[in-house]
A and B are shown apart, each in its own frame.
Chain A
Amino acid sequence: MSFNMLVLTCLAYVILLFAVASAAERAATAGRAGWLRSPMIYTLSLSVYCTAWTFYGAVGYAARSGLEFMTIYLGPTLVFVGWWVLLRKLVRIGRENRVTSIADMISARYGKSNLLGVIVTLMCVAAGTPYIALQLQSISLSFTVFVLDPSEVGLTADPALIAFWVAIGLAFFTIVFGTRTLDANEQHPGVVTAIAVEAVVKLLALIAVGIFVVWFVATGPADILARIDAQALPQWTIQPGRWTGLILLSAIAIICLPRMFQVTVVENTEDKHLATASWAFPLYLFLISLFVLPIAVIGMELMPAGSNPDMFVLTLPLYLGQDGLALLSFLGGFSAATSMVIVASLALATMVSNHIVVPLWLRVRAARNLDSGDMRLLVLSVRRLSISLVLVLGYLYYVVTGGSEALAAIGLIAFVGVAQMLPALLGALFWRGASRTGAALGLVTGMVLWFYTLFLPSFGPGVFLSAQVMEAGPFGLAWLRPYSLFGLTTLDPLLHALFWSLLLNVLVFCIGSFLSFPSPMERVQSALFVNIYDRTGPARSWTRPVAEAEDLLPIAQRILGVSEGQNFFRAQADLQGKQGFLPDITPEFLEALELKLSGSVGAATAHAMLAQSVGTAVVSVEDLMAVASETAQIMEYSAQLEAKSEELSRTARKLREANEMLQKLSVQKDAFLSQISHELRTPMTSIRAFSEIMMDTDAMSPEERTHFAQIIHDESIRLTRLLDDLLDLSVLEHGQVQLNISTVQLRELLDKAIRSSESVQADRKFRILRNRDPEDIEVTTDAGRLTQVFINILSNARKYCITDDPQMQIKVRERKGMVEVDFIDNGAGIPRDKQALIFEKFSRLTDEMQAGGAGLGLAICREIMHNLGGDIAYVPGQGGAAFRVSFPRVLAPRAPAQKSAETVSEAAQ
């Protein structure tokens, strides 16, 4: 097997993964993600637990310690079999709060504290880096083992170089599929599907080697069992302490490992998937473990003395001349390593960007009083950078340590590190009294002990801790020896570290919680997390309306993207039974908004951003205490009642609005008649007065005569135009209008409208900003009517956009068969209280600016758009007046006019 052949195989395999991932992404964006969200894919993605450490290391582990390797898979089995107790709650809370990582979960529970987010992130990076290094090491090791041809040794002599290229490739893959979009829930269908494929590959590879060993090398199961007993070493005896401790440790790890949290909680879409995984994932682990000991035993029997048992899975088939099997096994190991690195770096990068970089950046911006700009791009780039950073760290660790440790050791060290998060996490789920102070102190205590008793010594004496410190303790204090703290000498180093770090962690966590007083926000969050099953409504913490919806829309647009943000606001307004983009600022709305934002930037950041934008006194202590008080707890339990009263108040609001609407309509009818009278009589007054003057004044200069005649003439034209407009409106309102449907270029219509509108206040310079490419759309509609609408909007802007450098931005986009044209100027915009009125008849905003119209323009526009099957709306919060004209790209003949007639007759009742 040549080196080049091996590289080609790897490349082909990686290309396959790319294809799978991008197909999954495409299916998900097209909404055909049904099969992606199947419980089987979910279960397979969980197999990211089985890394190269499992694939190669388990056999080595078995060769050294017998059955002890099984503990690593039995612990997770117990956790999944017992999913009803813990995982179900964890997954439910995670999904309802749109948790993006384990750091986000802990920070959200303890009062959305970013301090905790930072601590957990740092711990995860510290524990995760060696683990990633381990994967890089195993890939490069498998490369070197595989190439037996001595002529090519020169190429492979540098495993660091292989690790380097592998790291680059993995960073690229993770960035492409892990940070494509910044969407709520932080889910990545492409990555998950690729991981599922890799899960199948590694399982098949290990089983294939196992079957080969049992039935082709040995003569069957009975023979294998006999050989196992023959090979059994005295050190294979099960040691009670390690056996129990490791089962517990691996059980903890499957909950706390950042990558496991990512696939189990963050990528979960339904509770039911967990029900399937509860047996299917243990089954996967069972199958992975089944042949480990047989392979180890046969390897020990056949391979020359001194061969590395960690590589038996690869070297045994090679030694026996099974090149094809060896290649499959190589791919299995490659899969195991790459899937781990991809998910781990994705999870770590999310934490680093959400809890360290973005909050820091926000704080700097806030300190300098700057606008936060487009957050979406920032968060994405930070995340991309973080992924690269995590992989660079892993690579550096690999290069620095030279990668000589037995694989199992590094894995277990990482396990103990992440286990430090367990007390805080369990407290979050089950103990309402757990407090932020306690959690932070416990985490830091556990982390320090882990560093001192396990992590630093793992580099070997002389690297960080001198041999002398290891032997006699720092400053000669024997009770501080890293491997036998406080004189505990009988435990082996791993159990020793696990025992002390977890014990003191829990102790400090509890004492800290007993003694500290939680903030109101913490108490609210604790009730929400611990009593997750008792509620029917979403989390509640915004108790009092404070900000204007108009201020919040721009923030939401920045983080979610413009259209996503607008859609969200419109949907929320809809829920409240309101029209338009601006919902009432109810606590429920703020809650929903925060939840939506936290899906993108994490709970603590989302909360901080909203708090920053709506002022500091957002959640007063009294309000929160009220929620957290015993009364509020009772209310939590009577959630049904609450839901009903919400329903009632919603109905009441709708009724009230309908009633107001009716009253308004009646007033409007009177006002309309009186307005018509005014608009007709005013020009008639001038006409009558001047014609009488011309009749009874004898001495009149010719100039005067011409001037008066001119006035009469102008006023008659004004009268005619008014009558035309009224007729037009009436025809449009009753849907009797004849539409002239033709197929035209939208760009040409816009050109024409801009040219025509230039005659209005022709002396004013007006800059028009357009992007011509999206305007290149063929539309089938009444071109004349549509142009009339465009001209009206543009002329209004020319008249009313009072600024030194007036400009108009025109944006066109098409979605789902609807064309949307946005006209946004940079003027003062329309005041909030007038926005609902502008499309009404005779609603001139400023009387000073007569500008020749009777205030029917926008009313006519709206009727035209209804006739064209579309709409015109005012979009608030865009920095100036902004109108959105939307209409179907191809107008189906006649149907919309019918609908419009209905709405009008309804309105005229």
Chain B
Amino acid sequence: MSRPPRPQFLARDSYRMRRLMDAAKFLPLFGFVLLLLPLMRHSPDVEAPPTASEMVYLFLVWFGLILLALLMSLGLRRVLSAPPQKSDPSPLSED
């Protein structure tokens, strides 16, 4: 509050941060849907399932999720250190 200049950038920053938090909430849902896709691709007439290609697909989705989580965690870390950590009682009572 004590820095009146450039307020619009501050607002934009915190706006970005909130959207990032939204994205973090949606990520597992998005991942879950992607992981369910193999169920809908399988055609029942084929005798043996296309295991190899499904495996490649699943591992790619998996790796993609890991990458996204990595990127998001870099941003979210800042939120963790930003809010007042007063609520953490450990510095008072751990001696």
Contact = CB atoms under 8 A, between A and B. Distances in A.
Direct contact of A and B (CB under 8 A): yes
Contact of B59 (A78, A243, A244, A290): A290
A536 B89 CA distance: 10
Given A568-B93, A571-B95, A595-B93, A236 B27 contact: no
Contact of B88 (A67, A96, A568): A96
B32 interface: yes
A83 B21 CA distance: 11
B58 A228 contact: no
Given A81-B31, A592-B89, A568 B95 contact: yes
A229 B62 contact: no
B13 interface: no
A78 B80 CA distance: 21
A236 B35 contact: no
A768 to B, nearest CB: 32
B3 interface: no
B55 A286 contact: no
Classify chain A: how many residues form its interface, as a range. Answer: 35 or more
A361 interface: no
Nearest to B84: A536
B25 interface: yes
A225 B57 CA distance: 12
Contacts of A237: 42, 49
Given A66-B49, A282-B69, A286-B66, A238 B28 contact: no
Nearest to B44: A237
Nearest to B20: A84
B21 to A, nearest CB: 6
Interface string B5-29: 0000000000000000100110111
A233 B77 contact: no
Contacts of B42: 237-238
Interface in B67-81: 67-70, 72-73, 76-77, 80-81
Contacts of A74: 35, 58, 62
A243 B32 CA distance: 11
Given A74-B62, A536-B87, A592 B48 contact: no
Contact of A81 (B52, B55, B65, B95): B65
Contacts of A282: 62, 65-66, 69
A136 B16 CA distance: 51
A589 to B, nearest CB: 11
Interface in A60-104: 66-67, 70, 74, 77-85, 95-96
A567 B94 CA distance: 10
Contacts of B80: 271-272, 275
A283 interface: yes
* Residue with the highest number of chain B CB atoms closer than 10 Å, among A226, A232, A571, A596: A232
B63 A286 contact: yes
A67 B58 contact: yes
A860 interface: no
Given A66-B51, A275-B76, A595-B93, A84 B86 contact: no
A283 B62 CA distance: 9
A272 to B, nearest CB: 6
Contacts of A286: 59, 62-63, 66
A251 B59 CA distance: 18
Interface string A473-507: 00000000000000000000000000000000000
Contacts of A78: 28, 31-32, 35, 65
A575 B25 CA distance: 39
Nearest to B47: A234
Contacts of B68: 81
Given A275-B76, A535-B87, A592-B89, A67 B51 contact: yes
A233 B39 CA distance: 17
A279 B73 contact: yes
A74 B34 CA distance: 11
A97 to B, nearest CB: 9
Interface residues of B, number: 49
Nearest to A532: B87
Contact of A643 (B70, B86, B88, B93): B86
Interface of B is mostly: helix
B1 interface: no
Contacts, number: 143
Interface string A512-543: 00000000000000000000100111100000
Contacts of A83: 24
Nearest to A225: B52
A293 B55 CA distance: 9
Contacts of A702: none
A595 B89 CA distance: 9
Contact of B52 (A79, A229, A234, A247): A229
Contacts of A831: none
A70 B27 CA distance: 19
A536 B42 CA distance: 53
Interface in A260-318: 271-272, 275-276, 278-279, 282-283, 286, 290, 293
Contact of A236 (B24, B51, B93): B51
Contacts of A532: 87
A240 interface: yes
Contacts of B54: 67, 238
A238 B49 contact: yes
Contacts of B28: 78-79, 81-82, 85
A84 B31 contact: no
B56 A225 contact: yes
A184 interface: yes
B3 to A, nearest CB: 20
A81 B35 contact: no
A177 B50 CA distance: 48
Given A275-B76, A282-B65, A571 B93 contact: yes
Given A237-B42, A592-B93, A85 B49 contact: no
Contacts of A184: 93-94
A860 B72 CA distance: 65
A553 to B, nearest CB: 16
A592 B89 CA distance: 8
B76 A84 contact: yes
B79 to A, nearest CB: 9
Given A237-B49, A293-B55, A568-B95, A96 B89 contact: yes
Contact of A96 (B32, B55, B87): B87
A211 B73 CA distance: 31
Nearest to A283: B66
Contacts of B67: 279
B60 to A, nearest CB: 11
Nearest to B48: A232
A228 B27 contact: no
Contacts of A70: 58
Interface centre among B25, B84, B93, B95 (most CB of A within 10 A): B93
- Among B39, B66, B68, B84, which residue has the most Cβ atoms of chain A within 10 A? B66
10 contacts: A84-B24, A84-B76, A229-B50, A238-B42, A240-B39, A275-B73, A279-B67, A290-B59, A592-B92, A643-B86
The 4 A-B pairs of least Cβ separation, nearest first, read: A82-B28, A84-B24, A279-B69, A279-B70
Given A96-B89, A275-B77, A568-B95, 7 more contacts: A77-B66, A79-B28, A95-B90, A229-B51, A229-B52, A571-B93, A592-B93
